[in-house]
Amino acid sequence: MNEFILELQDINSEDLAFLLFRHILLGSSFDYQNKFYVKHNSLIESTYITENNKILEIDSKRRGLFSEKDKLIILEKNGSWTKEEEERYQERFKRITDLQISKKKLVIPAQIKQAQILFEQEMRDFSAFFIERDNVLGLTLESYVNTQTYQYYLKNFFFKDEALTERLFSDEDFEELPQYEIKKYYDYYFEFQEVFNSRNLKKITCCPFILNTFFLSKTPVDFFGKNISELTLNQISLYSNYLYYKNITESADFKPPPQECYNNLNKLVDYYDQQYSFISSKNNSKKR
């Protein structure tokens, strides 16, 4: 992972919060290490990706590619990949996915380390089996569409300029890029999304200066100057966070954060969350 992403994954100062706030307002981030701009995803962009995938699926089906399901039926009839082998694969795959999910939920370092060891052990034990399945299955509709999605991201989310008009690679250069290179940009994009994780977005919103600015607006359209359908997913999340903090601060039971919280964004977020729990439980008991 590059330093740019690592540095911003867990922001702890108002300066960094401002930097990301700027990125969110602009709808893109400048990677000062790689010297390119990364466009933030939006609702409308997400629908384009879905549409693009659908078109690719129809086109590749017309060209004779089989879906994973159809290919598995052929392979089973043929004896190349039995039902039992597939069940074993699905079971293992589920186990590894579950391990991955539960690992993400852990917070205690020792538990994370233990979960990582377990995950790596599972991967080691079954990687040969997974590779065997990949080889037998070959290219399918789904795997083809996946690789084409990588290309979509590179073509539509990476730019040379802040106005996002000049693509990082010209059409000609893009066609010459090998698949593994394209995959790198795709992986980068998803690592980069981590910068805008929910915790960071909360930290940005509850920065006093930013939160006060939000209070001046009546609607997201008012704040961002765009229709909601044109907003990026980060802009929508930021505004939702503002509504969350607005509800908390407008409650008669709300107590403003103590001064020391303002020097630590993590403490500030935790304080607001505690206030939310306190206000919610009080409201619930009133209702009862």
Partner 1 sequence: MNQDKWIYTFTLDKEVNVSKSETSKNDAGEEITITKTIKEKKPFIFKIKKPNRKIIDDGDIFYAAKVGEYLKAGLLSKSLISKRFENDGGDLSEDIKKQYTEAVNDYYNSQLELDKLKEKEGSSLSDEDKKQIDELTPKILELKNILTEFEIQRTSIYDQSAESKALNKQIFWYILALTHWNKGKENGDFEPYFVGKTFDERCDTYDKIEDEENNNEFFLSLTSKLAFAISYWFNSGNKATQKDIDDAQNSIG
Say whether residue 84 binds partner 1 (CB under 8 A).
no
Cβ-Cβ contacts under 8 Å for 61 (sequence gap 6 or more): 67, 141
Among 64, 109, 225, 256, binds partner 1 (CB under 8 A): 64
CB of 39 to partner 1, least distance (A): 22
CB of 186 to partner 1, least distance (A): 14
CB of 90 to partner 1, least distance (A): 18
Separation in Å, CA 145 to CA 39, 71, 85, 180: 22, 15, 25, 15
CB of 150 to partner 1, least distance (A): 11
> Do residues 89 and 128 touch, judged by C-beta distance below 8 A?
no
Would you give the DSSP letter of residue 31? E
Length of the chain, in residues? 288
CB of 5 to partner 1, least distance (A): 25
Say whether residue 12 binds partner 1 (CB under 8 A).
no
Say whether residue 175 binds partner 1 (CB under 8 A).
yes
Say whether residue 34 binds partner 1 (CB under 8 A).
no
Residues 133-162 contacting partner 1, CB under 8 A: 135-136, 138-140, 144, 147-148
Size of the site for partner 1 (CB under 8 A): 29
Say whether residue 177 binds partner 1 (CB under 8 A).
yes
> Do residues 160 and 167 touch, judged by C-beta distance below 8 A?
yes
Which tokens is 166 given?
């000049």
CB of 63 to partner 1, least distance (A): 5
Cβ-Cβ contacts under 8 Å for 279 (sequence gap 6 or more): 248, 251, 253, 254
Q: Which is nearer to partner 1, 178 or 256 (CB)?
A: 178
Nearest to 242 by CA among 226, 274, 263, 218: 218
Among 47, 90, 116, 179, binds partner 1 (CB under 8 A): 179
> Do residues 144 and 71 touch, judged by C-beta distance below 8 A?
no
Distance CA 140, CA 84 (A): 21
Which residues contact partner 1 (rule: CB under 8 A)?
60, 63-66, 70-71, 74-75, 78-81, 132, 135-136, 138-140, 144, 147-148, 173, 175-179, 182
